[in-house]
Chain A
Amino acid sequence: MSTAAVAVRAPAHETESYLEHGRGVRSWLFTLDHKRIGIMYLTAISACLLLGGVFALVLRLHLWSPQGALVSNDAYNKLFTLHGAVMIFLFIIPGIPAALGNFVLPLQLGAKDLAFPRVNLLSFWLFVAGAIFFVVVLVVGGVDTGWTLYPPYSLESARGLGILLALSAVVLTGFSSILTGVNFIATIHRMRPPGMGWFDMPLFLWALYATGVIQIISTPVLGITAAMGFLERIFHLGLFMPEYGGDPILFQHFFWFYSHPAVYIMILPAMGVVSEVVSVFSRKPIFGYRFIAVSSMAIAIIGFLVWGHHMFVSGQSRWASLAFSFLTMLVSIPSAIKTFNWIATMYKGAIVLKTPMVYVLTFFAIFGVGGLTGLFLGLLATDVPLHDTYFVVAHFHFVMVGAVMIAFLAGLHYWWPKMTGRMYHEGVGVASAWLVFLGFNLTFVPQFLAGVLGMPRRYATYAPQFTGHNRLSTVGAFVLALGLVVALAGLLHSLRRGRRAPPNPWGAASLEWTIASPPTHHNFDETPRARGPYDYSGLHEVSEEAGWVREEGR
């Protein structure tokens, strides 16, 4: 065996892993290690996914019958508000960047840590504080405004303490997100190893970089808007409330200036995961590397100019609507470029249907539908009848759940051996992917149909002709939940029973797979020299236990 192969495997036996480096609760809660902070984020966002998921199941059960089967109308409004707020602010936005990105980004750079480890820990604790605020919102009676918190309704005197807590939580989680973005961008700029120029980076890093730009530029606007709303509610400043001379449309502009780019905070890291997985499991270098990299930046930049498409029926000028509609069409171009490049990567590849790849294939199907139905909502003529129907609900769930959550699951399974040092059961993983895919489509395809037929969103009751659609949807939601439980069970089971993971179980070429699984406290003993992240030459599988090793000149 060549020396290269020995050097790859040796550290695993020589030094303790990051999981063993320091024991006790305090060594986790106050750690500066990006890997431990990533794991803590992963735990926290999974708990939030569970919470938001339970809300969703209660909502779906309620909609079993047209008059509502379970809760009062008032409770329904509060449940869908918190379902949206928890899922968006506490799961989807921090999901891939803060949990997977925190763990993987320094490893892919061959770095010992992020640029600012203390800022990273602060970001985590701000997130936890925000999450606690959202739970307290629930305790003090909830909010029933929808996650968009539009005034004047949301800032009326009748809304109690809940809205103030929710606005505070938005500020806290917002700053958590900003700090993550600052950290990622500074790290990618300054800490790339020798041999890694901008166009030699793994595409996941390009995606996180583009995400960081959006986090830094758009999130502070949401922060100050929430703060203004907070003060308006208490002191009647006359900024957003018409009765005091304010302009509620201004709030909508500010809100969507953040919340539309936030969609790209969600989807860009997901696209980064897909770019990694599709290449590794097609055993073929990624097709159109530069196009995928640059399209991430294009999405980030154009994404700032399209917020008005949420306000076509809010009373904004029709000329503004026309411009926003056109710009919205533009943003679909880089998304399509990515999709075609992924498909081209698979063409004539040796496709391996391991769990991450199965998830990614379902991503393609769902993202395709989610993206194309977005065009209907970006066009003025079709948006007006479809606005505020279940078509919108189905569209954004296709993108946020179907695409982002599935990419999160793909990435979680892909990097799980690196994070934990254990292999999960492959059969269970694949089964979970199919259950999630089937459950997802069963839930949301009927919602497209109900939306086209005119069923409005956000109502606790519905007209009897939609009973069939809603019952299919409810059954689908439970299948989806089952799929998630199976995935979770498979992963947790592997922690005790899983086979030990080799440094490189998938035959991937980026730097995180050249070190032990799980990595040591400082990741790399010395700064490695980077080579192409999709250069699979010389990699071959020794055995299932030993994984893949690279032998030069083979």
Chain B
Amino acid sequence: MDATAQPAPAARQERGRFLAVQFEDMAAQLATGKLGIWLFLANEVLFFSALFVSYGVYRSHHPELFRYASQFLDWRMGATNTLVLISSSLAAAWSVRAAQLGNQRTLIRSLVLTVVLAATFMVVKYFEYSHKLHNGVGWGTACNPSPELLASLPAAVRALPVPAHLGTFFSLYYLMTGLHGIHVLVGIGLYVWLIVRARRGDFGPGYYGPVDAVALYWHLVDLVWIFLFPLLYLI
């Protein structure tokens, strides 16, 4: 009966620095953490879903409005960002493999590359947003495109009257890309945190759960954009 009274200090040491008390071993902790992040991602999909459903409803009610409004978006910017984000997803996947192999140099390099590409995405996004806002293309009732912008549209589009409630499209545009952008910013924060921990030498074949989990999150952020790009830019 005495044996149950105190866990020996030696036993505690061999549990490892990053093993939480509620888990038997690192494998159980890794598997549980991964399940947790997948469940969280399911929640994220549903979080975006109402915006996608709104998009579907308004587009089916006002197809002409969506065709017209998408002319204000520059597909080259969107395509660039798609490539940037897919590349960063590759870097993220690479970082997981590097952590599993214990390759410290590659790990840090791939994490830094992920952040650099994510930041590039946000810079492109900044130019897109500021161009629109300077030309009066806000959301909702704040959408009053400037005459110069209207004059720059293709001739076939210019001939059409400006549809009513043009701002509804841009409400959806800013909500969807904005919520996605917030996720990118959170991702950048998470990757900076991973870089700090990786430089400290926390990760290796025995412990790479956080690198794995953040990469899963990052792939979802990438995936959302892959849907946003055609839905908004390529109508």
Contact = CB atoms under 8 A, between A and B. Distances in A.
Contacts of A219: 43
Nearest to A119: B36
A237 B43 contact: no
A115 B167 contact: no
Interface in A169-223: 178, 181-183, 185-187, 189-191, 216-221, 223
Interface in B10-48: 20-22, 24, 28, 31-33, 35-36, 39-40, 42-44, 46-48
Contacts, number: 123
A183 B164 CA distance: 46
B180 to A, nearest CB: 13
Interface stretch (B135-143, B149-157, B196-204): B135-143
B171 interface: yes
Contact of B22 (A115, A178, A228, A247): A115
Contacts of B43: 178, 182, 216-217, 219-220
Interface residues of A, number: 52
A239 B171 contact: yes
B162 interface: no
A92 to B, nearest CB: 21
Given A111-B22, A238-B140, A11 B4 contact: yes
B165 A220 contact: no
B57 A247 contact: yes
A186 B36 contact: yes
A245 B168 contact: yes
Tell me what chain A mostly uses at the interface: helix, strand, loop, or mixed.
Answer: helix
Given A231-B175, A236-B141, A527 B24 contact: yes
A10 B1 contact: yes
Contacts of A236: 140-142
A529 B21 CA distance: 19
Contacts of B31: 190
B51 interface: yes
A433 to B, nearest CB: 36
A114 B5 contact: no
Given A235-B140, A238-B171, A522-B21, A116 B47 contact: no
A320 to B, nearest CB: 14
Nearest to A185: B39
Contact of A250 (B42, B54, B140): B54
B51 to A, nearest CB: 6
A150 interface: no
15 contacts: A14-B5, A113-B21, A186-B32, A187-B32, A189-B32, A189-B35, A191-B32, A220-B46, A224-B48, A235-B142, A236-B141, A238-B165, A245-B168, A246-B168, A250-B54
